[in-house]
Amino acid sequence: MLMIDRIKNKHSGFRLFLMTVFGRSYPRIVGMQREKSWLFFDVFIPFLSVAAYVFVYRAIGAPEDYIGFVVVGGGMTAFWLNILWSMSSQLYWEKEQGNLALYIISPASMMAILLGMALGGLFATLLRATAILVIGSLVFNVSYQLASFWQLLGIFMLSMLALYGLGMMSASIFLLLSREAWHISNLATEPVYLISGMYFPVKNLGFWGASIGSIIPLTLGLDAMRQSVFASGPSLGFLSVNLEITILILLSVIYIASAKFLLAYIEKIAVKEGRLTENRR
């Protein structure tokens, strides 16, 4: 009877999904508070890169809005690094540590596990990005002309939805590539700063260069946010804000659907063939 009661009380469905998300996000949120020194270096080191670009732009006499472009871009780099190292490479690292098999055999959804990791990482990353934006704005005297707060918030939320969908999708791809995931992560760090226009208007790459960079949701999200908060933003923007919002919605649907398909695929391989969870060199 006791066993029957336990089976009846077992969580399932949407409740299990939510509990999994909470269970995986909690350690990352708490862990950030235990090592407060990490917060200092997570803010200070990226701020040095922001400052370097600001001094270059001022030395060549660039328009003052370019300083704001750099500060906003510097804050958004935190989200890309979180996707690259805390999402895309996560399943590969879990495999190396021997935890992937536990995830596969658990009743919890792999999507819920990755979503929990994403939300936990997003909390820490949001603090880092906010600190860079606030400090950079105060130190370099950046002025903003916000057109619509709700539009800006919507653009940011859509950018994060599409970006973390890309992170969940690439986590499956990196796992299938095994050790190559580490090399791809290192390779993708700096080039994305260029093609996404982190420190300059992506429009300067030309139509085709900016179009290729738009595969990464951060490109269009960053461009749309700059158009919403700077006076010269619309004239330096790649596409209109409404069109970029539409593309972000499409990217969100595509990446999340692809992530769901790929996660189901790797679970099938792991269960049927048993070769994904083995730590083979």
Return the pLDDT at 36: 67
Return the pLDDT at 274: 62
Residue range of the domain that includes 169: 15-272
In a domain? residue 277: no
- Exposure b/e, 223-239, CB count within 10 A at least 16 = b: bbbbbbbbebbeebbbb
State the Cα–Cα distance between residues 136 and 43, nearest whole angstrom: 11
In a domain? residue 9: no
In a domain? residue 278: no
State the Cα–Cα distance between residues 115 and 171, nearest whole angstrom: 12
In a domain? residue 279: no
State the Cα–Cα distance between residues 220 and 243, nearest whole angstrom: 10
Whole-number Cα distances in Å, 54 to 50, 67, 128, 136, 198: 6, 6, 19, 10, 13
Return the pLDDT at 84: 73
Return all residues near 210 (Cβ < 8 A) that are at least 6 apart. Answer: 197, 202, 203, 219, 238
In a domain? residue 265: yes
Return the pLDDT at 3: 37
| Helix (H) or strand (E) run with residue 118 in it | helix 110-139
In a domain? residue 280: no
What are the DSSP E strand ranges found in the chain?
Answer: none
Dump the DSSP string for 163-185.
Answer: HHHHHHHHHHHHHHHTTHHHHHH
In single-letter form, the type of residue at position 141 comes to N
Return the pLDDT at 8: 40
In a domain? residue 8: no
Return the pLDDT at 278: 55
For the chain, helix (H) and strand (E) counts, in that order, are 13, 0
Residue 152's closest CA among 169, 133, 135, 166? 133
Number of domains forming the structure of the chain:
1
In a domain? residue 216: yes
Return the pLDDT at 174: 75
Return the pLDDT at 35: 65
Return the pLDDT at 5: 42
Query: Residue-wise pLDDT tens for the chain (281 aa)?
Result: 333 344 344 555 778 888 888 877 777 777 666 666 666 777 777 788 888 899 999 899 888 889 989 999 888 888 887 777 677 777 777 777 777 777 777 787 778 888 888 777 777 788 888 888 888 889 898 888 887 888 989 999 999 889 888 888 887 777 777 666 667 767 777 788 888 888 888 998 888 989 998 998 989 999 999 999 988 888 888 989 999 999 999 999 999 898 888 888 877 776 676 666 555 44
